[in-house]
Structure 1
Amino acid sequence: MYVAVKGGEAAIRNAHKLLADRRRGDRSVPAIRLDQIVEQLALGVDRVMAEGSLYDAELAALAVKQARGDMIEAIFLVRAYRTTLPRFGYTKPVETGRMAIERRISATFKDLPGGQLLGPTFDYTHRLLDPELADDAPVEAADRRIETAEQTPRVTDILSHDGMIEADGELPEGSETGDLTREPLSFPLERDLRLQALARGDEGFLLGLAYSTQRGYARSHPFAGEIRIGEVEVELDVAELDFPLTLGRIRVTECQMVNQFKGSSKQPPQFTRGYGLVFGQSERKSMSMALCDRALRARELGEDITAAAQDEEFVISHSDNVQSTGFVEHLKLPHYVDFQAELDLVRRMRAEHERASQTSDTQEAAE
Structure 2
Amino acid sequence: MYVAVKGGEQAIARSLELLAEARRGDVAVPALELAQIREQLRLGVARVMQEGSLYDEELAALAIRQAAGDMLEAIFLLRAYRTTLPRFGYSQPLDTTAMRVRRRVSGTFKDIPGGQVLGPTYDYTQRLLDFDARQPAQVACADAPLPANMPRVLDLLDAEALIEPIEPGNDPEPIDLTREPLTFPADRAARLQNLARGDEGFLLGMAYSTQRGYAESHPFAGEIRMGEVDVWVCPEELGFAIEIGSITLTECQMINQFQGGNGVPPQFTRGYGLAMGEGERKAMAMALVDRALRCDELAESNDAPAQNQEFVLSHSDSVEASGFVQHLKLPHYVDFQAELSLLRTLAARHHEDTDDTPLCKHGGARP
- Whether 1:158 and 2:151 are equivalent positions in the alignment is no
Q: Deviations over 1:301-343 (max 9, x none)?
A: 0001010000000000000000001111111111111000000
Shift of 1:5: 4.6
- Residues in 1 aligned to 2:181 and 2:167: alpha-carbon distance in whole angstroms: 24
Structure 2: unaligned runs, 5 residues or longer = none
Instruction: Find the counterpart in structure 1 of residue 165 from structure 2.
Output: 167
Instruction: Find the counterpart in structure 1 of residue 238 from structure 2.
Output: 241
Q: Superposed, which structure 2 residues align to 1:1-367 within 5 Å?
A: 5-133=5-133, 136-143=134-141, 149=147, 151-168=149-166, 170=168, 172=170, 175-241=172-238, 243-358=240-355
Aligned amino acid, residue 224 of structure 1: A
Q: Deviations over 1:261-299 (max 9, x none)?
A: 111133111000000001000110000000000000000
- Residues in 1 aligned to 2:140 and 2:234: alpha-carbon distance in whole angstroms: 37
TM-score, normalised to structure 2's length? 0.93
SS in 2 for 1:276: strand
SS in 2 for 1:306: coil
- Higher mean displacement: 261-270 or 300-309: 261-270
- Residues in 2 aligned to 1:76 and 1:69: alpha-carbon distance in whole angstroms: 12
SS in 2 for 1:109: coil
- Contact 2:259/2:266 (<8 A) preserved: yes
C-alpha change, 1:361 and 1:242, in structure 2 (3 Å) is closer
- Contact 1:235/1:244 (<8 A) preserved: yes
SS in 2 for 1:7: helix
C-alpha change, 1:10 and 1:146, in structure 2 (3 Å) is farther
- Residues in 1 aligned to 2:287 and 2:329: alpha-carbon distance in whole angstroms: 35
- Residues in 1 aligned to 2:158 and 2:38: alpha-carbon distance in whole angstroms: 39
- Contact 1:213/1:309 (<8 A) preserved: yes
Percent identical among aligned pairs is 61
Shift of 1:131: 1.1
SS in 2 for 1:101: strand
- Residues in 2 aligned to 1:146 and 1:305: alpha-carbon distance in whole angstroms: 48
SS in 1 for 2:244: strand
TM-score, normalised to structure 1's length? 0.93
SS in 2 for 1:254: strand
SS in 1 for 2:312: helix
**CA-based RMSD:** 1.9
Shift of 1:171: 5.4
- Higher mean displacement: 243-252 or 63-72: 243-252
- Residues in 2 aligned to 1:43 and 1:208: alpha-carbon distance in whole angstroms: 19
Relative contact order, higher structure (CA 8 A, sep 6+): 1
Shift of 1:243: 3.6
Equivalenced residues, count: 357
Shift of 1:150: 5.1
